[in-house]
């Protein structure tokens, strides 16, 4: 009985019943999508039968036909391109009557700066300075950096300079003290224009030069009457300084002291009264004097604001 059972098991193992494969192969061409018959090899793996060469040739032929049909459709969609025109056949428009071909750029004669300025003025109008040559402003004061100037060099203009004060100042740093000089200079043309400037440098002459240039940058106009005096009285404060200015009759002269007198003389005032009421600091008093002069108005300005003739102001 034992031998019979062993023989039956061996026969069942040697001849198993394998199920057939029913899943379709979607990756294969249409001609190869069939149900292959499976069989076992010596190793027990399932193998598929190799398709015939005719099946592969049919699949390649179908793919070639599909690609050719797609190319024909693309060619039908493209628009027809125009034929290129040869350069010899193109003709330019005829020039108008009286046209003269200009000379080449390198064959023209050289232009002078005056010719260039005249051409610009022809396009954009005359220069704002009133002259026929562009770039020259007769109303501009040429200011040179004091560092680039010589010690004896001074601007060539109608302004005069007067030194009010020169002090030695000290700056304390980590390595010690740095000594320098501070200068206060009043600049004026004796015609109603005056300015106060301050400058510092290692030497006195350079400090004075810087102060003079600073005064030219801060010029103001002082209102004067035909008797070279103020149109009316005015008071002004600057810091701790307070200055009082009063007009005077002809022949009185400038009755003031300190920096106030210097500022009034450089402005061209011949008859006036001035007084320093508080601090005696020259710089603050000079700036207070400038501030007081800017508070004054001429008779014609007041008449224009009120809309009346100047004669009505004395009634």
Residue 105 pLDDT class (50, 70, 90 cuts): confident
Query: Which regions of the chain carry the CATH code 3.30.160.20?
Result: 146-221
pLDDT surpassing 80 at residue 127: no
Question: DSSP label at 169?
Answer: E
Place of tokens 């009185």: 252
Q: In which region does residue 192 sit, left (phi positive, over 0), alpha (psi from -120 to 50) or beta (all else)?
A: left
Strand pairing category for 254-255 and 272-276: parallel
Query: What integer is the mean pLDDT of 87-109?
Result: 79
Q: How are the residues of the chain apportioned to helix, strand and coil, as percentages rounded to the nearest 5?
A: 35, 20, 45
Percent of the chain clearing pLDDT 90 (strictly above): 40
CA 134/CA 118 separation, integer angstroms: 8
Strand partners, 275: 244
Contact 146, 172 (CB under 8 A): no
CA 149/CA 283 separation, integer angstroms: 25
Instruction: Tokens for 213, please give them.
Output: 């240039």
> Please, where are the H alpha helices in the chain?
2-14, 53-77, 113-124, 204-217, 259-267, 282-294, 299-306
- SS3 of 299, please? helix
Provide the sign of the torsion angle of the four alpha carbons 105, 106, 107, 110, taken in this order: positive
Question: DSSP label at 145?
Answer: -
Query: What integer is the mean pLDDT of 214-241?
Result: 92
Query: What integer is the mean pLDDT of 128-132?
Result: 46
Tell which wins on pLDDT, 90 or 304: 304
DSSP string covering 245-263: EEE--TT--EE--THHHHH
Query: Which regions of the chain carry the CATH code 3.30.230.10?
Result: 234-303
Say which CATH topology domain 234-303 has: Ribosomal Protein S5; domain 2 (3.30.230)
Average pLDDT score over the chain: 77
Taking the CB of residue 187, how many other CB atoms lie within 10 A of it?
25
pLDDT surpassing 90 at residue 124: no
Tell which wins on pLDDT, 81 or 207: 207
Taking the CB of residue 88, how many other CB atoms lie within 10 A of it?
6
pLDDT surpassing 60 at residue 283: yes
Lowest mean pLDDT among 125-139, 155-169, 240-254: 125-139
Tell which wins on pLDDT, 240 or 120: 240
Write down the CATH number for the domain with range 146-221: 3.30.160.20
Instruction: Tokens for 240, please give them.
Output: 């701790």
pLDDT surpassing 60 at residue 103: yes
Contact 159, 189 (CB under 8 A): yes
What is the pTM (predicted TM-score) of this model? 0.51
């Amino acid at each position: 009985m034992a031998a019979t059972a062993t023989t039956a098991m061996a026969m069942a193992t040697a001849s198993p019943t394998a199920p057939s494969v029913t899943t379709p192969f979607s990756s294969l061409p249409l001609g190869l999508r069939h149900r292959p018959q499976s069989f076992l090899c010596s190793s027990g793996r399932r193998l598929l039968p190799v398709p015939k060469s005719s099946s592969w040739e049919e699949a390649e032929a179908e793919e070639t036909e599909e690609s050719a049909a797609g190319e024909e459709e693309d060619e039908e969609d493209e628009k027809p391109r125009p034929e290129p025109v040869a350069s010899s056949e193109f003709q330019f428009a005829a020039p108008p009557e009286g046209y003269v071909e200009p000379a080449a750029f390198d064959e023209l004669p050289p232009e002078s700066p005056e010719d260039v300025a005249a051409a610009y003025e022809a396009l954009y109008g005359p220069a704002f300075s009133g002259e026929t040559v562009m770039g020259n402003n007769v109303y501009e004061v040429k200011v040179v950096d004091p560092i680039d100037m010589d010690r004896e060099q001074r601007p060539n203009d109608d302004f005069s300079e007067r030194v009010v004060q020169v002090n030695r100042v000290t700056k304390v740093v980590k390595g010690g003290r740095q000594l320098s000089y501070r200068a206060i200079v009043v600049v004026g043309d004796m015609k109603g224009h005056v300015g106060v400037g301050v400058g510092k440098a290692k030497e006195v002459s350079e400090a004075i030069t810087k102060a003079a240039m600073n005064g030219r940058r801060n010029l103001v106009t002082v209102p004067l009457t035909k008797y070279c005096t103020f149109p009316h009285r005015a008071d002004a404060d600057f810091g701790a300084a307070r200055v009082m200015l009063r007009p005077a009759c002809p022949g009185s002269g400038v009755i003031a002291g300190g920096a106030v007198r210097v500022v009034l003389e450089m402005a061209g005032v011949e008859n006036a009264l001035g007084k320093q009421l508080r601090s005696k600091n020259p710089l603050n008093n000079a700036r207070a004097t400038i501030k007081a002069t800017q508070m004054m108005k001429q008779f014609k300005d007041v008449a224009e604001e009120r809309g009346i003739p100047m004669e009505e102001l004395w009634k």
